[in-house]
Amino acid sequence: MTGTMDVWATVEWGKPLEKIQQPIPEPKGKEVLIKVTHCGLCHSDLHFWEGHYDLGGGKKLYVKDRGVTLPVAMGHEILGDIAKAGPEAGEQPVGARRIVYPWLGCGNCRRCAQEEDNLCAAQKSLGIVQNGGFAEYVLVPEPRYLVDPGELDPAVACTFGCSGITTLNAVSKVMPLDPEEPIVLIGAGGLGLAAISMLQAYGHKTIISVDLGDDKLEAAKKAGATAVVNSTTADPAKDIMTAAGGPVLAVIDFVNISKTATMVQSILAKGAKWVQVGVMGGQVEISLVGMILKGTTILGNLTGDPKQLREVARLGREKKLPPLPVTKMPWDEVNQAMDLLGAGKVTGRLVLVKE
Ligand SMILES: [Zn+2]
Ligand SMILES: [Zn+2]
């Protein structure tokens, strides 16, 4: 395959993406070239695009210090068709639809050997370090990073690459848990709603969704939350505990800012697990004795691994995963889509579709 492709690239941090032309990559060895048809838009795309993360206490983590050079195409919820495969990639049917695992590791370390690419110290993630789904074609290093979505709606299946595996990973961290034991999910955006689906897939019964928007909470109820709490009330911690019938054993915070983290500390039961997912930024003070006396476990959740992508796709194909609400937009309207997401005007997931 020769020629050039369209790339909606970040050319300058925080500036509108520009459509540039780049050569279509040529797959070598085990590599597989995917022609992008669907790409979900994620809050972390917005943080990356701004060029820095808020580490709390006035400190920032700059993306450019992490080996990222511009221009690069973001977009890590990638789904597309096999366009071409390298000579050592085995049988790769051209035109077949595949979900792409984006959180690529170095491929050489012990983490990568165990398929824990998301925890590799030398990540080469698609949509961050290398071109992702905002480019017309994406180069995948090995076929094991591709998963067949079967008959699933491709606009839903593309979201498995980030929101699907991140929520599966986060939910696995609080499991096993009695199905009646309340689980509190903070944030009812794309990930919060995906977590409700995931918990239902695993037969969990009591799910409390917390958000500051009534429209988001309405979506959470529709998705299957058993109770919702608006966090803009005078005492949201008390409202959550009322809904849960007391302090809670499991909290997954998809927002994860100083305010939500402080609130979480006041609702944890003895032996609780507190999973942190969101990258909105901030810091929190933790009583060390309090950690011991309560027997608290805090877990940071960094996306998910390729095994989890296969598991999410299996749940989806077997119709065990209620589909996440998605809003489709043309792939060429990526800047408008980012504006909508940044303004908090998106229910569920925004997915760019390339015809
Ligand atoms: Zn993401
Ligand atoms: Zn590695």
Residue with tokens 């165990």: 114
Expressed in angstroms and rounded, the spacing between residue 85 Cα and the centre of ligand 1 is: 26
> In sequence order, which ranges of 177-287 are alpha helices (DSSP H)?
190-201, 214-223, 236-244, 258-265
For 208-248, the pLDDT digits (tens) are: 999 999 999 999 999 999 999 999 999 999 999 999 999 99
Reading the block at residue 24, the tokens are: 């279509």
Expressed in angstroms and rounded, the spacing between residue 2 Cα and the centre of ligand 2 is: 31
Expressed in angstroms and rounded, the spacing between residue 166 Cα and the centre of ligand 1 is: 8
Expressed in angstroms and rounded, the spacing between residue 45 Cα and the centre of ligand 2 is: 23
pLDDT at 1 over 70: no
Q: Is 3:24 a contact under the CB 8 Å cutoff? A: yes
Expressed in angstroms and rounded, the spacing between residue 288 Cα and the centre of ligand 1 is: 32
For 108-128, the pLDDT digits (tens) are: 999 999 999 999 999 999 999
For 21-45, the pLDDT digits (tens) are: 999 999 999 999 999 999 999 988 9
What is the number of the ligand closest to the CA of 77?
1
Q: Is 79:43 a contact under the CB 8 Å cutoff? A: no
Expressed in angstroms and rounded, the spacing between residue 86 Cα and the centre of ligand 1 is: 28
Expressed in angstroms and rounded, the spacing between residue 289 Cα and the centre of ligand 1 is: 35
For 138-191, the pLDDT digits (tens) are: 999 999 999 999 999 999 999 999 999 999 999 999 999 999 999 999 999 889
Reading the block at residue 338, the tokens are: 């980012």
pTM for this predicted structure:
0.93
Decide: helix, strand or coil at residue 102. Answer: coil
